[in-house]
Amino acid sequence: MTVPDLMGRGMTMSDQLARHARTTPDVAALRFDGRGRSYAELDERVTRLARALRQRGVAPGDRIAVLALNGMETWEAYLAGVRLGAIVVPVNFRLVADEVAYVLDDSGAVALVVDAPLAELGAKAREQAPSVTTTLVIGGDYEEALAAAGSEPLDVTVDEGQPAFIMYTSGTTGRPKGAVLTHRNLLMHVFSQLVTLGADLAAERVTAPGAPMFHIAGLAGGLPPLLVGGTNVIMRSGGFDPVALLDLVERERINSLFLVPAMWAAVVAVPGIASRDLSCLTRISWGAAPASTTLLRTLIDTFPQAEVMTAFGQTECSPVTCLLRGEDSVRKIGSVGTPMLNVEVRIVDDAMHDVPRGEVGEIVYRSPMVMKEYWNKPDATAVAFAGGWFHSGDLVRQDEDGYLYVVDRKKDMIISGGENIYCAEVEDVLAAHPKVAEVALIGVPDTRYGEAPLAVVAPRDPADPPTPDELDAWCREKLARYKNPREYSVVAALPRNPSGKVLKTTLRQERAAGSLIAEPVV
């Protein structure tokens, strides 16, 4: 008996697009800057782009790098790569040419889709990336290429187990690694997220992922509306304007909005926000960086009609692993929730032994959403999957009800005088001080204790910054003495990467170089 070939029978992003183009062709798939694309329009343009790339020599399995600002063409490039059976490599447009070249060369990209404002950057990077043999410029020859290509469906079969994207990690320490995400990883992620959130899909009909599209939050955030036939509202790149965002929410009637904590802090501070018509928002979420309990309480008060949801995870997990639902936002404030469907977790010590509930350990994962591997880095992949579980590097504790609380990144934990100091705990206390806008805790060398905690603080009012004595008195009331920072440094703002994560490595380097001035507690 002949066994039928089932390869390619799974559902990819391209298949989802084609389905809605057949069933709801006139529904807006994308909205950007006052313009839109229906599912039928988007489907045809994606096919044309895929054909144009194939005419230029791109084959299934080849890597297509996309160096672009947020926009509808960026999403088209992603979907065209998927439709062609290629592997899409989103590139951080804030990188310099050498850094872009590293991503192009490391991935072995053969094609580059680049935005016109970034064309010069792309050209400089290509000088160091001989694998790139073809380029299409959005705002240049991109539309000509689409017009010249046919719109007939491609005869390409794409298996859901094959790589779809290589997502390069933030690279806060050393060179970034490429996390290989398969079609199945991404499909299972969006399916598991929607099932965990419940059968009511109204909140996913008009969604705005407030993240750069080269970031996993920008990619994954566009998948729920694609799966359910909704609308992905793409936010402009550039400086974040909270007033413009609220205008966008009102104008596009956005149902679900994701922002990093620093962006939410700016939004809730907008004067007159209570008078806005934001009734369309039924779900707001945050992730990618820690949020203080003070900010979370403000979000809950500012958006009483919306479910406030915490999303926790990382690029290698497609990315969300844990969710804190709206009903628990107050009862379990500060928690990142519980594992969502299809995510199995353990909290372990360095020897991979489970730690008792309530104690701190590293959270490790098993899930169909976890990446396939790090691209071309077998040693790093082996370390990440040591013991058969994916090691997150996040230190957490679990309460009696099974809710998880992040206490630190494993590499950031401070050991002072033999005591473990978890940065998130101290940062949360300091963030509640009325004069503090944001704070980061780092460990610095200390002759007596080995390491000592230094708090880097950005004040709410630069004209009235907190003094070390004020902050020390605040911490003494709320923390054990050994956890209190020994030094404080007041800065205008904390350095962050494009994902919104604080660059503690930069702070340590500045401290070592003497450019970060710290004042000891008297």
pLDDT tens by residue, 332-357: 888 899 999 999 999 999 999 999 99
Residues present in the chain in total: 522
| pLDDT tens digit sequence for 193-208 | 888 887 556 556 899 9
Give the pLDDT confidence score for residue 382 in this predicted structure: 96
Spell out the long-range contacts of 419-424 with Cβ–Cβ below 8 A and sequence spacing 24 or more. 419/482, 419/483, 420/360, 421/453, 421/482, 421/483, 422/360, 422/395, 423/453, 424/290
Strand-pair partners of 113: 66, 136
Which range is least confidently modeled, 97-106, 390-399, 456-465, 494-503?
494-503
CB 290 within 8 A of CB 424: yes
Q: Which residues contact 111 (CB under 8 A, 6 or more apart)?
A: 53, 56, 57, 58, 62, 63, 64, 65, 86, 132, 133, 134, 135, 136
Every domain of the chain and the residues it spans? 13-22+34-182, 414-520
Superfamily of segment(s) 13-22+34-182 = ANL, N-terminal domain (3.40.50.12780)
Mean pLDDT of the chain: 90
Per-residue pLDDT at 7 = 53
pLDDT of the residue at 114: 98
State pLDDT tens for residues 420-459: 787 878 888 899 999 999 999 988 888 777 788 999 999 9
What is the mean predicted confidence (pLDDT) over 241-268?
Answer: 93
CATH superfamily, domain at 414-520: ANL, C-terminal domain (3.30.300.30)
Binning pLDDT at 50, 70 and 90, where does residue 278 land?
very high
| pLDDT tens sequence across 381-422 | 999 999 999 999 888 999 999 999 988 777 777 878 767 787
pLDDT at 445: 85
Q: Global pTM?
A: 0.84
